[in-house]
Structure 1
Amino acid sequence: MTSPSAWYDAYPKPRHESPSQISREELLERIRNGQKAGIDFILIDLRRNDHEGPTIKGSINLPAQTLYSSLSTLLNLCTKAKIDTVIWYCGSSRGRGSRAAVWFADLVEDSGVDGISSLALTGGITGWVQAGEEYGDLMDGKV
């Protein structure tokens, strides 16, 4: 009996093993300094079936399982809108968040575009929720 392949096996393997990361403290500091998701950076929630519950304010939901074909459009949007940072998260950012961050970093590199960072949110939404009230205040949905 053959075990089913993972959803990401249908897509090219990323060249990089580990994504660049941003800590929840760094993201909180950006927000406190007046930066806004969707204007100054893009914040992407990669959850699909487990998307119920809270999200970080300003994030958009692009489920990881359907993301790969949209990466070039996302890069075009970042370039046109002069967005220099894309931050990815899922439940823990160790699977989908990390994979999306390196896929996008590979695309940025391959496209010869300078100045766009692709970062995985360390700890994902779970780490954000568990970090305390100041993080919870920056969420939409029930915690």
Structure 2
Amino acid sequence: MTSSPPPRHAAFPPPQTTAPLMKRDEALSSLSSAELLLVDVRRTDYEGGTIRGSLNLPAQSFYMNRAVLHRLCKAARVKRVAFYCGSSNGRGPRCAAWFADWLVQQGEEEMQSFTLEGGIKGWVKAGPEYEVEVDGYEPEYWRQFE
């Protein structure tokens, strides 16, 4: 019997915090706000486009870069950081929780970490007003999820 290798995230401590969900409509209305940063943590499935203005930090390398993200957000006066992956069921919530843990460890009270409701798949499924906010939007790619 062959066992599977452990997932990559098993090399890091499990998160102690659960980051709250940020509703899609809240994120959509805040896209142009300098106080919100969206972080796309997809890597090999980074296809079909990404939400306008989001930063791609693959989940596989995120844990080691929490401090850097915090410093950058602090310098830019970002108050809310929302993480997403394909459907925000694994990597997005885990990275959001790791970042929330980091914020607690630093005594950071002005910044919050969130998981974007439904991830990029939920964003695209939410309709045309969301699709137009996807850079590099490829409609044919998203048809497979209908």
Asked whether the two chains share a fold, i.e. TM above 0.5, the reply is yes
Q: Establish whether residue 46 from structure 1 lines up as the match of residue 47 from structure 2.
A: no
Measure, in 1, the Cα distance between the counterparts of 2:74 and 2:42. Answer: 25
The TM-score with structure 2 as length reference comes to 0.89
Give the Å deviation of 1:84. Answer: 0.7
Give the Å deviation of 1:102. Answer: 0.5
Give the Å deviation of 1:19. Answer: 2.0
1:1-143 matches, within 5 Å, as 1-16=2-17, 18-31=18-31, 34-35=32-33, 39-141=34-136, 142-143=138-139
Q: Which runs of 4+ in 1 moved over 6 A?
A: none
Tell me the amino acid that sits aligned with residue 49 of structure 1.
T
Measure, in 1, the Cα distance between the counterparts of 2:125 and 2:99. Answer: 27
The TM-score with structure 1 as length reference comes to 0.91
Tell me the amino acid that sits aligned with residue 28 of structure 1.
L
SS in 2 for 1:119: strand
Q: CA RMSD in A?
A: 1.1
Unaligned runs of 5+ in 1: none
Q: CA offsets per residue over residues 56-114 of structure 1, 9 Å max, x none?
A: 00011111011111101111112222211111000011100000010000000001111
Measure, in 1, the Cα distance between the counterparts of 2:131 and 2:84. Answer: 16
Measure, in 1, the Cα distance between the counterparts of 2:96 and 2:63. Answer: 11
SS in 2 for 1:108: helix
Measure, in 1, the Cα distance between the counterparts of 2:19 and 2:89. Answer: 10
**Alpha carbons 2:37, 2:78 under 8 Å: kept:** yes
**Alpha carbons 2:30, 2:36 under 8 Å: kept:** no
SS in 1 for 2:14: coil
SS in 1 for 2:130: helix
Aligned-pair identity in percent equals: 43
Unaligned runs of 5+ in 2: 140-146
